[in-house]
Amino acid sequence: MPFAGGSASQGVVLVVDDNVKNIQVVGTILTQEGFEVIPATSGAQALQRMEARPPDLVLLDVLMPDMDGFEVCRRLRDNPETSSLPVIFVSAANDTDTVVRGLEAGGVDYITKPFNKTELLARVRNQVELKRTRETSARILQEREKIISMVAHDLKNPLGAIRFSAQTLAELRPEQKETADELIQHIVTTCDQVVSFVDRFLSRRAREAEQERLVPVRISTDQIRDMIAAWQKTARRKQITLEVSAPKTPEHVRGDLLSLGQILDNLMSNAVKFSHQGGHIVVELIMEDGRPVITITDDGPGFTESDQARMFQDYMRLSARPTGGESSTGLGLAIAKRGADRMGAVLRIENRSEGSGAIARLELSLWSDDQL
């Protein structure tokens, strides 16, 4: 079951479904976006193929013969090598009990069939990016532990020598001035060596940190407009008017293109999902105090005080419910907030001052050639 065009550049996705046609549909969507797709038509086959080619993400059907999706997910969680592998359930069942069972089995998200292509891609990208971020963080922690061990080893000997000289100096008689002077000089010299070692270490780490830092790109208004325009079809299905306003010749935005796309996808998904049929969503790119700001305004139910206190927490379902039967796992806003923080942007969500609805504000930075 080959998928032409797939590569591992965007990530490797294991698609598990006993219906071959479903795998072909999902596989085609993902490969067109640069993902490598591994197909499996049963739970047992999925577990086998995972050993040969570890994926970044599993799209897992719930209802399958012999071994259902819940059991497959539980086995992944019980295996130390796959315990942190993200699993998104994909199923026609959208009742609360099934969704809860999926999350309790270890799933990180739940998509109902028939799914929206844009939403599927956004959720897949988010989970692959989060997995890679976690792996990078784990590698950094391991490297730091090694560095700490090396530093402790390299400092142990000179610190031991200083301690020995200080003890000896304390035990000398007054008439042993020449020996005292030698010990004092040894302590000073050894301290200088330690300080020099620390300086070299800190300088080296500063250079390495500079190299590890994400290199930002210049993002145009056209690119931002395209990200938003991708939601026009989804909005039209609910007869929602989507109005996009941005200056024709603006300053360029500084940021990470993938992260910005993930943030906007999650914010737009929420705006469409919680707006009523016939609603109106306005997206604007404006300048405020020298900063580019993207605002997404809807006329949905808005947020309660309780919602506002916990809206960026994982798996936190708020008081409002999707108006068109869409699935909601309570992850979208949490993912958007983490993405904004990682990119150095500021994300705020608040109720409109007049009428019902909410406003999402994403404050970005201007691109400046002086920052290169």
What is the CATH code of the structural domain delimited by 12-115? 3.40.50.2300
Structure tokens at 70: 């819940």
Give domain 140-212's CATH architecture. Answer: Orthogonal Bundle (1.10)
Considering only residues 137 and 75, tell me which one the structure prediction assigns the higher pLDDT.
75
Q: What is the mean pLDDT of residues 109-134?
A: 87
Residue with tokens 């949490």: 334
4, pLDDT greater than 50: no
Percent of the chain with pLDDT over 70: 84
Rounded Cα–Cα distance for residues 271 and 321 (Å):
12
Residues in the chain, overall count: 372
What phi and psi values does residue 326 have, to the nearest 5 degrees? Answer: -70, 155
251: which residues sit within 8 A by CB, 6+ positions away? Answer: 287, 292, 366, 367
Q: What is the mean pLDDT of residues 321-328?
A: 70
- Reported CATH class of domain 217-371: alpha beta
103, pLDDT greater than 70: yes
Rounded Cα–Cα distance for residues 29 and 35 (Å):
9
DSSP conformational letter for 81:
T
Considering only residues 285 and 188, tell me which one the structure prediction assigns the higher pLDDT.
285
Structure tokens at 75: 């086995």
Sheet holding 253-255, edge to edge: 217-219, 253-255, 365-366
In angstroms, what CA-CA distances link 33 with 30, 38, 143, 274? 5, 15, 33, 27
Percent of the chain with pLDDT over 90: 26
Are residues 273 and 324 in contact, defined by beta-carbon separation less than 8 angstroms?
A: yes
Provide the mean pLDDT of the chain. 82
Indicate the domain borders of the chain. 12-115, 140-212, 217-371
The pLDDT tens digits of the residues spanning 164-216 come to 778 787 788 777 777 878 888 888 887 877 777 776 666 666 555 544 445 57
What burial letters (b/e) apply to 35-68, b meaning 16+ CB within 10 Å?
A: bbbbbbbbbeebbebbeeeebbbbbbbbebeebb
Q: What is the mean pLDDT of residues 327-351?
A: 82
Are residues 22 and 61 in contact, defined by beta-carbon separation less than 8 angstroms?
A: yes
User: What band does 3 get if pLDDT is binned at 50, 70 and 90?
Assistant: low
Considering only residues 253 and 88, tell me which one the structure prediction assigns the higher pLDDT.
88
- Note the pLDDT of residue 184: 83
Domains 12-115 and 140-212 share a fold: no
- Note the pLDDT of residue 206: 53
First-to-last alpha carbon distance for the chain, in angstroms, is 46
Are residues 167 and 183 in contact, defined by beta-carbon separation less than 8 angstroms?
A: no
327, pLDDT greater than 70: no
Q: What is the mean pLDDT of residues 17-22?
A: 92
Query: Letter for the amino acid at 69?
Result: G
